[in-house]
Amino acid sequence: MTPAPERTVLRLARPYLGRLVGAGLLAAGTELAGLALMATATWLLVTAAQRPPLDALTVAIVAVRALAISRGVLRYTERLAGHDAVLRIITDVRARVFGTLIGRPTPPADHRSGDALSRLVSDVEAVQDLLLRVLVPATGATAVALLAIAGTATISPAAALPLAVGLLVAGVLLPAAATALTRHTADRIAPLRGALATDAVDLTQGAAELAAFGATASALDRAAGRARELARLERRLAVAGWALDGCGTLVAGATAAAVVITALRADVDGVLVAVLAVGTLTAVEATLALVGAARQWSQLRAALHRVTALLLPDPPATDPAVVAADPDRSAVEHPGHTCEIDAVEVRYRDDAAPALDGVSLDLPAGRRLAIVGPSGAGKSTLLGVLTGALRPTAGTAILDGVPLWAYEPEQRAALVGGLLAEAYVFHATVRDNLLLGRADATAEELTAATATAGLDGWVREQPAGWDTIVGEDGAQLSGGQRQRLALARALLAAPGVLVLDEPTEGLDPAAADRVLVAVLASLAPDRSLVLVTHRLRGLDAFDEILVLDGGRIAQRGSAVELAGSPGWYRDQWQMQEAAERGYLALAP
Amino acid sequence: MLVGVPRAGRRQGTGAPVSRRPFDPRLLRRVPATRRQLLALGSLGVIAAALIITQATALATLLAAAAGGRLDRPALAAFVATVAARALLLWAQGVVAARTAATVKATLRTELLGAVGTRGPAWLSGQRAGQIATLAGRGLDALDAYFTGYLPQLVLSVTVPVAVLARLTFADWSTALIVGVTLPLIPIFGALLGWQAQAATERQWRRLSLLGGHFLDMVAGLPTLRAFGRARAQVEVVRRMADGHRVATMRTLRIAFLSALVLELVGTLSVALVAVPVGLRLLGGGLTLQTALLVLLLAPEAYLPLRAAGSRFHASMEGLTALDEAFTVTAPASAPAPARRIPPSAPSELRFDAVTVEYDRTVALRDVSLTIRAGERIAVIGPSGAGKSTLLGLLLGFVTPTQGRVLVDGVDLATVELDAWRRELAWVPQRAHLFAASLTDNIRLGRPDAPLAAVHAALRTAALDDVVRQLPEGLDTLLGERGHGLSSGQRQRVALARAFLRDAPIVLLDEPTARLDGAAEAAVLDATRRLVAGRTALLVAHRPALLRDADRVLRVDGGRVTELTSVPAAAAI
């Protein structure tokens, strides 16, 4: 059972509670000043009609002016104080939402980036609205309602009764109705907006495919259908919502009329009857702010639930051993690292066949290891174990004497990592993308890494050089350039154990050979390299080659040994060699 | 630490206009459905003004009588009746305004996404998915505040002051004079203070857009951030961006709220200016209490709608800015499209006639002349970035030649109905996009009505059937925007299955076997052979195995295309 999202938000708001309470008090002050202003002004006029000496009115005249000015000033400070407090809370919320996304090992299947965008930009605003448009005005309205009833009761207890009824309708009944009427529809609006955002991403990022396959029209139809459905819901919401606003006006007028009748019957002084009537109108109108607040609140709930779901810490999945393990910092700086993987088994689901089954390997410092095998053989899973992203179901994966998963993520990344599948290129400059590998890299190191990856020529050709901005997910780069950039970044990171998953993918064979040779030459002799590849060329420089198949090690040995013994490796080697010799002979 | 790109190189919205009128006349032209609704809003505004006068008159009469201890029943009845009428009117106004907002949003959303579709992938390259998603989502939702909050107030700010002035002139002309003189102060002060707030809001809006884009980028790249141990450090960047948003917003608000304060004070002091002489005249017996009360109740009403419109204008400016951005993005392309001809079906010849393609920074193809005859299988090789994909882009109609022509049976592709032409094509791109739909629907992209048997056949030929068996819900498995749940090799095979199902006479393959393993590649190559059999095919190849079946091999390097004459010896194997 998750706690109410409002409670989570309030817990987050605790450091800023002083600011929030201050804003609430200012809101109450503003409303009271407004009420007092109208009441005093009415008293002034009605009294003046009875022609008293001017002195009798002086205090009231001063009070009217003071109230008029203080209402404006109070409202100004209330708004500023409220917004400032809320925006501070929002900053925390945004960072926490991102932090939670980081903590989730793999995004759930329905977690789409367009949806995530809608979440941060729009749902987070829901937290802002909850505090600013629900909590603060509700405080002010409630204070006014209570004080108005108390004030009326001192003049005429009989007139206080219809006022209390009117305020109850305006402040409790109508808001409750607003909540009930809009909640159902509001719950359906947020997912529709998310779906529309996903449509927008599909229509933009998939525009080429949609056009080529003549599917643009139907995708547009779907998105337009969603937009229409959203409009339909919004219209329905408006009919119910504005009916309540109409009722609010009606309640204000009816209450004022009832108060006048009651007060006259109770023989209240004529001057005070007028004051009560005008005061009642103002008080009920102020209390009607609760209807708006309730409507806001019910519209926000779905979004609030989703935001707070992202704010709640996941149940602790960490092993106590994680805390206990404290790898020596100097070990990171130390050049040689040894890694041992022993009888590792990984199952993604209990009822499924293991993705890795009894895999063992040894990586002393300076080892060059290649992993090959058909797709689905478990290569990515093995890399996941090796980089600590996956914790084996059975067996051990130990780096420098400490289980891999027990390292702090940042420390582990410095020890083992590199170019992994789905490497992402950020919408940032070439330099910033590279510096992600190592933040303190020098210009020489940048140049060296790009030269090894074969990207240095391209960088030089760009007018903006290192400051060239690459599009979202490297969309403004060709596939090969993108891959080279990701490779250069991995080389720059230079972890103790460098892992490269298909580093030459998307490059033509000659370029792929050149890059692999350059990478091997650039590697310090005490650093280890783990290469996953489908290309068997250039593997003779490796100490050991593992052939994975069906999650098990099918064959292992040097390139010469494997090429000489029957199996998947020899078949592939022959096929690729034959095809490639023909190709290379062809290239002028 | 990676900090997205807040500045440099990116087109920010599109040349935001310096001054913004409270109403965008393009609305009437671009969304004709709003005309009637806006007319209704205007009429309701006139009725509202009349009701305000009636209610104040009735209340003043009622209270003047009550002050004497007497209940004026007709006045009470009139008061209650006008209150009821105002309640009904408020409801009608709200409903009409909300309907207008919903209509405009739905229309603009459709047009916005439609522009994305019709202008094609080339136009999109400079725009970011995140920014368009923000505009189509939250950006346009800001129009609610404009239509339901601001616009009705704008109408009232015309009708109510006029009605109030008329009623006051009738009741007490000296009061009417003071109100008439002080009223214009509100729009004058509003204009003076409002423009500053406008500029500030525009800046804030851009930051919000950027924040959206930045976050999408960060979430999409989370696995990479994790791999380099930078994910947690980026939390600080997100916090910094959000804090920057706060500081910018507060700066805007300080000015926006200040202008509201000034307007409120102008209104209040003007009422005081009216009230003091009225009170003195009451004391002197020169005025009845009923008139005095009427003045007290009506005078603030004259200032109120102007002030409300002013203060809501700030709140609605986000909406107006989004409206402007949407109109700019969806503005019809400047040059009217030439008459589109129906392209020849199953053409016998494709010809590049001295084609040059220039992009912003580079020349992708230089003076390429080339003829492809029906049934030819042509492999295209060359280093990455040499212009191979541009060659395919030209045939797809994504790229138009800077110079020269692409001819289909002698018909210039630039004059051809592109959708009809693309029915002749099946395309496997370098990085296939997976749509947020089921696997079946992803494969049926080019043939939504294809029978399930055909989908299964395509799956088998693309060597994807094993993959389907491993998916939790098989063919019904939903695929995320970026293809969550599928490896890049599997994604590539989905693209191949799409092409198989498309069953078009011309096949364009952009490295179909990239990201594939040897075994999978062998399966896909087999399938590719079946696909290209009897069709015209242009295959961009990085992998030698594709060359075996090629009739001709083209080499693209530095934008120039040369033909290799010998067929690889390996083809004999």
Q: How confident is the model at residue B23 (pLDDT cuts 50, 70, 90)?
A: confident
- Closest CB to A579 among B88, B226, B545: B545
Token pair listed for A25 = 């008090």
Beta-carbon separation of B361 and A473 below 8 A: no
- Segment B66-108, tens digit of pLDDT: 988 889 999 999 999 999 999 999 999 999 999 999 999 998 8
Q: Is the pLDDT of residue B28 over 80?
A: yes
Where are the strands (E) in A422-550, listed by range? Answer: 497-501, 528-532, 544-549
pLDDT for residue B16 is more than 50: no
With a cut of 50, say whether residue A385 has pLDDT above it.
Answer: yes
- Nearest residue, CB atoms, A198 vs list B382, B427, B481: B481
Q: CA of B564, closest CA in chain A: separation in Å? A: 8
What residues of chain A lie within 8 A of the CB of B228, using their CB? 413, 417, 436-437, 489, 493
Are B481 and A433 in contact (CB < 8 Å)? no
Q: Is B410 exposed, middle or buried (0-12, 13-18, 19+ CB in 10 A)?
A: exposed
Q: Scanning every residue of chain B, which has its alpha carbon at the shortest distance from the alpha carbon of A61?
A: B276
Question: For residues A421 and B480, which has the higher predicted lDDT (pLDDT)?
Answer: A421
DSSP state letter for B350: E
- Are A121 and B95 a contacting pair at CB < 8 A? no
- Average pLDDT of span A164-169: 96
A125 C-beta neighbours (distance < 10 Å), count: 19
Helix (H, G, I), strand (E, B) or coil at A406: helix
| Residue B535 touches partner A, C-beta closer than 8 Å | no
Q: Is the pLDDT of residue B8 over 60?
A: no
Given this model, what pLDDT does residue A322 score?
Answer: 40
- pLDDT score, position B81: 96
Q: CB under 8 Å to B249, separation ≥6 — which residues?
A: A83, A87, B204
Question: Residue B547: which of A205, A493, A583 has the nearest Cβ?
Answer: A583
In the predicted structure, residue A26 carries a pLDDT above the cut 50: yes
Q: How far apart are CA A347 and CA A267, in angstroms?
A: 85
Least trusted range by pLDDT, from A110-119, A180-189, A197-206, B529-538: A110-119
Q: Please indicate if any CB of chain B lies within 8 Å of the CB of A511.
A: yes
Band of the pLDDT at B12, cuts 50, 70, 90?
Answer: very low
Average pLDDT over residues A482-509: 87
Copy the structure tokens of residue A191: 């997912």
Question: Using only C-alpha atoms, what is the Rg of chain A?
Answer: 35
Can you tell me the mean pLDDT for B205-230?
Answer: 66
Q: Does B32 touch chain A (CB under 8 A)?
A: no
Residues 87-126 of chain B whose Cβ lies under 8 A from any Cβ of chain A? 87-88, 90-91, 93-95, 97-99, 101-103, 105-106, 109-110, 113-114, 116-118, 120-121, 124-125
pLDDT band at A166 (very low <50, low <70, confident <90, very high): very high
Question: Regarding predicted confidence, which is higher, B572 or A553?
Answer: A553
B478 has a chain A CB within 8 A of its CB: yes
d(CA A545, nearest CA chain B) in Å:
16
Half-sphere exposure of A249 (CA within 13 A, CB side): 20
Q: Which two tokens stand for residue B462?
A: 């693309």
Least confident of A81-90, A128-137, A349-358, A496-505: A349-358
Phi, psi angle pair for A404, to nearest 5°: -60, -40
- Does residue B484 have a pLDDT over 60? no
Closest CA to A420 of B383, B493, B222: B222
- Residue A389 near residue B225 (C-beta atoms within 8 A): no
pLDDT tens digit string along A239-282?
888 899 999 999 999 999 999 999 999 998 989 999 999 999 99
ipTM above 0.85, yes or no: no
Cβ neighbours of A426 in B, within 8 Å: 2, 4, 217-218, 221, 224
Give the pLDDT of residue B507.
92
Q: Kindly identify which residue of chain B lies nearest to residue A383, measuring between CA atoms.
A: B227
Enter the pTM of the model.
0.70
Q: Is A249 on the interface with B (CB under 8 A)?
A: yes
Residues of B in contact with A462 (CB under 8 A): 361
pLDDT for B404-415, tens place per residue? 999 999 888 888
**Average of per-residue pLDDT across A454-478:** 80
Contact across the interface for A210 and B238, Cβ inside 8 Å: no
Q: Of B221-230, B292-301, B391-400, B454-463, give the lowest mean pLDDT range.
A: B221-230
Say if residue B332's pLDDT is above 70: no
By C-alpha distance, the chain A residue nearest B280 is A48
Could you tell me what percent of chain B has a pLDDT over 70? 80
Lookup result for tokens 């009216």: B274
> Which H or E run includes A342?
strand A339-346
Residue of B226, B236, B423, B567 best to disrupt the A interface, most CBs of A under 10 A? B226
**What pLDDT is attached to residue A472?**
58
- Amino acid letter, B282: L
Residue of chain A whose alpha carbon sits nearest to that of B386 = A478
pLDDT of A348 > 60? The answer is yes
The radius of gyration of chain B from alpha carbons, rounded to an integer in Å, stands at: 34
> What is the pLDDT, as a whole number, of residue B93?
94
Rounded Cα distance, A428 and A467, in Å: 9
Which residues have CB under 8 Å from A317's CB, separation 6+?
none
| pLDDT given at position A256 | 95
Q: How many CB atoms lie within 10 A of CB B530?
A: 11
What average pLDDT score do residues A6-28 get?
A: 86
Closest residue to A261, CB basis, from B71, B129, B238: B71
Which positions in chain A touch B296 (Cβ < 8 Å)?
Answer: 41-42, 45
Pairing of strands A544-549, B377-381: unpaired
Pairing of strands B560-564, B552-557: antiparallel
Mean pLDDT check: name the lowest of A360-364, A501-505, B330-334. B330-334
pLDDT at B125: 57
C-alpha–C-alpha distance, residues A503 and A419, integer Å? 7
Closest approach of A211 to chain B, Cα-based (Å):
7
Please list the alpha-helical segments (H only) found in A399-440: 409-415, 430-435
Q: Convert the pLDDT of each residue in B111-138 to its tens digit.
A: 888 877 667 666 665 555 666 767 876 6
Put simply, the answer to whether A509 touches B542 (Cβ < 8 Å) is yes
Q: What is the pLDDT of residue A147?
A: 93
What is the per-residue DSSP string for B428-486? Answer: E-SSPPPPSEEHHHHHGGG-TT--HHHHHHHHHHTT-HHHHHHSTTGGG-EE-TT-TTS
Whether residue A73 lies within 8 A of chain B, CB to CB, comes out as: yes
Confidence of residue A535 (pLDDT cuts 50, 70, 90): confident
**Hey, is B533 helix, strand or coil?**
coil
**Chain B residues touching A247 at Cβ < 8 A:** 87
The answer to which of A81-85, B18-22, B116-120 has the lowest mean pLDDT is B18-22
What span, in angstroms and rounded, lies between the C-alpha atoms of A543 and A520?
12
Lowest mean pLDDT across A123-137, B8-22, B149-163: B8-22
Name which of A215, A427, A475 is nearest B446 (Cβ-Cβ): A215
Q: Which residue has 């409507």 as its token pair?
A: A295
| Alpha-carbon gap: B103 to the closest alpha carbon of chain A (Å) | 7
| Mean pLDDT (whole number) for B455-483 | 80
Rounded CA gap, A468 and B29, in Å?
41
Q: Report, as an integer, the average pLDDT of B452-468.
A: 86
In the sheet where A356-363 sits, what is the strand order? A356-363, A339-346, A394-399, A402-403
**Chain B residues near residue A423 by CB distance under 8 angstroms:** 224, 227
Q: Which of A350, A330, A481 is nearest to A415 (CA)?
A: A330
pLDDT of res. B206? 56
Q: B303 CB near a chain A CB, below 8 Å?
A: no
Average pLDDT of A283-288? 92
Q: Is 80 exceeded by the pLDDT of residue B109?
A: yes
* E strand or H helix that includes residue B408: strand B403-408
The pair of structure tokens assigned to A207 is 């525009």
Q: Give A367→chain B minimum CA distance, Å.
A: 21
Candidates A91, A375, A461, partner chain B, best to mutate (most B CBs within 10 A): A375
pLDDT tens-digit map of A108-164: 333 445 555 555 666 777 788 888 888 888 888 999 999 999 999 999 999 999 999
d(CA B238, CA A96): 9
What's the rounded mean pLDDT across residues A73-86?
A: 90
Which of B240 and A179 is assigned the larger pLDDT? Answer: A179
Query: In B317-352, which positions are buried (b, 16+ CB within 10 angstroms) versus exposed (e)?
Result: bbbbbbbbbbbebbeeeeeeeeeeeebeeebeebbb
Is B33 touching A (CB cutoff 8 A)? Answer: no
Which distant-in-sequence residues (6+ apart) come within 8 Å of B241 by Cβ?
A94, B4, B210, B211, B214
* Amino acid at residue number B452: L
Chain B residues in contact with A210 by the CB 8 A cut-off are 117, 445
Could you tell me which residues are beta bridge partners of residue A545? Answer: A370, A557
Tell me which chain A residues have a C-beta less than 8 angstroms from the C-beta of B238: 94-95, 98
Whether the pLDDT of residue A55 is over 50: the answer is yes
Residue B210 has pLDDT above 70, yes or no: no
Q: What is the pLDDT, as a whole number, of residue B482?
A: 45
Q: Which amino acid is at A339?
A: C
pLDDT at B211: 54
Can you give the pLDDT at residue B94?
Answer: 93
